Amino acid sequence: MKRLFLLHFLFICTFFTSFAQEQLPKSILWEISGNGLVESSYLLGTFHLVCTEDLHVADKVLTAIEAVDQIALEVNLADIDELMSIQELMVSNTTLSSQLTEEEQEEFRTLLKSKYAIDLEVVDHFPPILAMSMLAVKDIPCEVTGYDMEILNVGLSKKKYFLGLERFKDQIEITNRIYTAKEILTQLREKEETTADFEMMVAAFNQEDIEMLYQMATDSKSLSAEGKTLLLDNRNRAWIEKMIDLMPKERTLFAVGAGHLAGEVGVIALLREKGYTVKAILK
* Total domains present in the chain: 1
Radius of gyration of the chain (CA): 19
**Hey, what amino acid is at 106?**
E
User: Under a CB-based contact definition with an 8 Å cutoff, are residues 97 and 184 in contact?
Assistant: no
* pLDDT score recorded for residue 219: 60
* pLDDT score recorded for residue 210: 86
CB-CB neighbours of 52 under 10 Å: 10
**pLDDT classification of 43: cutoffs 50, 70, 90:** very high
Q: What are phi and psi of 129, to 5 degrees?
A: -65, -35
List C-alpha distances in Å: 228 to 17, 39, 237, 261: 12, 33, 13, 14
The stretch 30-59 carries a mean pLDDT of: 94
User: Under a CB-based contact definition with an 8 Å cutoff, are residues 27 and 280 in contact?
Assistant: yes
- The neighbouring-strand residues paired with 161 are 70
Query: What's the length of the chain?
Result: 283
Q: Which of 15, 10, 6 is nearest to 265 (CA)?
A: 15
Mean pLDDT of the chain: 87
pLDDT > 70 in the chain, percent: 89
Predicted structure pTM score: 0.88
- The boundaries of the domain holding residue 58 are 2-280
Condensed to tens digits (0 to 9), the pLDDT of residues 58-84 reads 999 999 999 999 999 999 999 999 988
Condensed to tens digits (0 to 9), the pLDDT of residues 86-127 reads 888 888 889 999 999 999 999 999 999 999 999 999 999 999
Pairwise pLDDT comparison (202 vs 225), residue with the higher score? 202
The 8 Å CB, 24+ separation contacts for 212-217 are: 213/7, 213/14, 213/15, 213/258, 213/259, 214/14, 214/15, 214/16, 214/17, 214/259, 214/262, 214/263, 216/3, 216/7, 217/3, 217/4, 217/7, 217/14, 217/15, 217/259
Pairwise pLDDT comparison (7 vs 96), residue with the higher score? 96
**pLDDT classification of 263: cutoffs 50, 70, 90:** confident
**pLDDT classification of 225: cutoffs 50, 70, 90:** confident
Cα end-to-end distance, the chain, whole Å? 34
**pLDDT classification of 237: cutoffs 50, 70, 90:** very high
Give the list of residues 6+ apart from residue 49 with CB closer than 8 angstroms, or none.
10, 11, 137, 140, 144, 145, 146
Hey, which of 84-88, 126-130, 196-200 has the most confident mean pLDDT? 126-130
